[in-house]
Structure 1
């Protein structure tokens, strides 16, 4: 028992900077996933000791206000709101968060301006940002960002080109002024522990929570996660550098295969002079319009966008959020205990 208590105390000490910053019992964030990270999942994560984050996405200010108020009715614990910096009504969305005393604002989907960062901080909220590279992380800290999330290419949804393993080695030793949370491909608590020991403040999980009982995602969506393997979560492929495709990781299905033929058809029409370059680019981009909602809400797992990280291979059953979080904590504690046993084991004769 004392070994377990000592391990828990060690874990508490390792992620104390993250817990202090978030105001949560555990430094475990929920990734902001469009259509998934809404009131039910966010409140469940925060109530279980983690830190839920609402995905604002393309919401209008009035819709975001509704979601914040509904979430606050379900939890008295801190939670955050993820805002896309390119949203045309970003200032109004920030004002909604501040008016409703949201404790943390996460600025994503682009580089936030110093003015936006100051607006959040002056309004009394903590502000976080994403850093896919060391140089950008340092720049954000200079601009006033109070915490960073570094997300590897193993993550689901829109991803960068570098794995979390490499990002952590590049960034964690070199940015120590603010808490840095790791994300991308995380499915177990002992994995988070390894990054805590490198200097991380905590970990962010998306895929495992998307498949939880409290997630409003369609049952067919969750079942696809339960059946999926790590290798099934693939990045979208770009056929022609003249027509950029934003890299997105999701489960391979009929839509991902059709996207390849769609790109090829559009590029061939452009080559023949049947369509202008700008129109061709729009046709390629519009292929996925509404596809995430089709998968998450309507349950069309073949023709929708099945955004998922490579940790999907570790989703073996649909469990309550509290069970998931408790398991993550237990796995970290058990890893610490195993290490102590190895260190103090008697040498073989």
Structure 2
């Protein structure tokens, strides 16, 4: 009875998120460039979660093929993650609209209002990232249908505030629309904690990298399986005049060389060999292609191993269905244990 009670309680906690996503579990897949492609996205949706294609730097024609490829693998809802800084953002939104994508996630910056309106004009549900309460309120006023709050424990480009603090700041206040929590979530017990605080669901990326359905290179997956939480560190900025948006990734030769590269470029700037803009561009372009080299080619020494701190909870390769069921079992178990304690009391 207690186990049934745990599952029933979990379903109740996830009800709003599941209704919004159209999924069995209120679990969104993180939009991870090169990893969140048709095979993994379809597998997540087919297993009861909500897969999200990472558009990244794709052009509209490439995105069209990726969406169509995903639609050929699943008849379940899935979303598309678009980067707000993409020079063809509006065209990418139109591709999503043309192909009937049900949810569009605008990430990587404050979304322009015209882009938000365009998503809504296609009848898609609009999901935006909110790194602070003031922005959450603004996005809600501008028409966001749901929010993702992602803490600094996440992989890839990160902000300065932890998941736990963002959840405390935003979840008790924003009740009008669903809010999904992301960043460092690797177990069902953590999902329950955020659901009980008022979240409608959670977004997980790192846990799905080592899914059997993931096309990530075996060496990339092995790096995740071997890693501990402390190995996923943000990149270092060596001079405030040359800002670097921190990227959380597993430390390797690439991250160490990036620090040395910044010192070298800044030294050339100080010597008058280049102006500040040229130096900034060189620093920003250092990682160009580095993620693909790691994910697709398996260069785990010099490529970018973007990973959240939940990487320490990735211990083996599993199917997506096994990952989702494990998370649900963990969540249900803690709720069932609480129900037993109340019965005993």
Q: Which residue of 1 aligns with 2:77?
A: 78
Shift of 1:20: 0.4
Secondary structure of 2:172's aligned partner: coil
In the aligned structure 2, how far is the partner of 1:245 from the partner of 1:91? 27
Q: Which residue of 2 aligns with 1:199?
A: 198
In the aligned structure 1, how far is the partner of 2:333 from the partner of 2:306? 31
Q: 1:228 and 2:227 equivalent?
A: yes
**Count of residues paired in the alignment:** 345
Q: Which residue of 2 aligns with 1:139?
A: 138
Secondary structure of 1:289's aligned partner: coil
Q: Which residue of 2 aligns with 1:37?
A: 36
Q: Which residue of 1 aligns with 2:338?
A: 339
Q: 1:280 and 2:282 equivalent?
A: no
Listed as ranges, the gaps of 5+ residues in structure 2 are none
Shift of 1:290: 0.5
Listed as ranges, the gaps of 5+ residues in structure 1 are none
Give the alignment of 1:31-180 within 5 angstroms: 31-180=30-179
In the aligned structure 1, how far is the partner of 2:243 from the partner of 2:80? 29
Shift of 1:113: 2.2
Q: Note the alpha carbon deviations across 1:69-101, whole angstroms, 9 max, x for none.
A: 010000000000001111111111111101111
Q: Which residue of 1 aligns with 2:301?
A: 302
In the aligned structure 1, how far is the partner of 2:253 from the partner of 2:10? 43
Shift of 1:341: 2.5
Secondary structure of 2:248's aligned partner: strand
Normalised to the residue count of structure 2, the TM-score between the two structures is 0.99
Shift of 1:211: 1.3
Secondary structure of 1:71's aligned partner: helix
In the aligned structure 2, how far is the partner of 1:90 from the partner of 1:261? 34
Normalised to the residue count of structure 1, the TM-score between the two structures is 0.97
Q: Which residue of 2 aligns with 1:311?
A: 310
Q: CA RMSD in A?
A: 0.9
Higher relative contact order (CA 8 A, sep 6+): 2
Q: Which residue of 2 aligns with 1:243?
A: 242
In the aligned structure 2, how far is the partner of 1:99 from the partner of 1:42? 19
